[in-house]
Amino acid sequence: MLLTVVDYGVGNLRSIAKSIEKANFDNNLNYLVKVSSDVNDVKKSDKIVLPGQGSFKACKKGIDNIKGLQQELNESIIVKKKPIYGICAGMQLFATTGHEEEKTKGLNWIPGEVIKLDVTSSKLKIPHMGWNELKVENNSKVFEDGMNNNHAYFIHSYEFIPENKKAISITTNYGKDVIAAVSLGNIFGSQFHPEKSQSTGLKILTNFLKI
């Protein structure tokens, strides 16, 4: 089976791929993990990981710059229902609209908006950076009750607010409840970085591989 980590010019791709390869090896699974910007690799994939680093606008531009990539992602995820995992800004791209730098259209797979993280009432710093505790709101195949009270690593200044609250899988508290992970059908994503979240991250990646 093929899992493609989509290379569209953003994210720490090698670190993500190595974490997936470890989950694959530790569980005796049979995935070829490939980092690729080739639309044909996305087309042939059984599962897809969409990383993201930097602004919503820059990430969307990276996808737009690869001819046919958004069309193939839509075909793979919406039509063929392949499982996808989005990481950080990669998850934010699932939204309808992002407001970082300027209003930018997202992939619109999980309707909602990406807005500036507002924690002014708590006097906490932005970006939200470091380890925070997870609270499971809605179980999914990737995010499950056993992750309650575990910790994951965050670094972000914007947050994804989906319209459908049932799509919210995990929250964390950073001056207020912040959405940490989403799930909707075959679409999964986390604001935190599983590749930087040690055993919690490996468990999540393992769950994704086992779908």
What dihedral angle (degrees, nearest 10) is formed by the CA atoms of 79, 80, 83, 86? -40
Is 195 known to be catalytic?
Answer: yes
Which residues lie below 8 Å from residue 8, measured CB to CB, with a gap of 6+?
Answer: 37, 59, 62, 63, 65, 66, 69
Give the residue from 53, 27, 25, 30 showing the smallest Cα distance to 6. 53
Tokens of 61: 């531009």
CA-based max dimension of the chain: 48
Q: Which of 72, 88, 100, 156 is catalytic?
A: 88
Give the residue from 50, 45, 41 showing the smallest Cα distance to 82. 45
Q: Which of 72, 100, 113, 195 is catalytic?
A: 195
Is 88 known to be catalytic?
Answer: yes
> Token match 């200044």: residue?
157
Q: Which of 100, 156, 159, 193 is catalytic?
A: 193
Active-site amino acid positions: 88, 193, 195
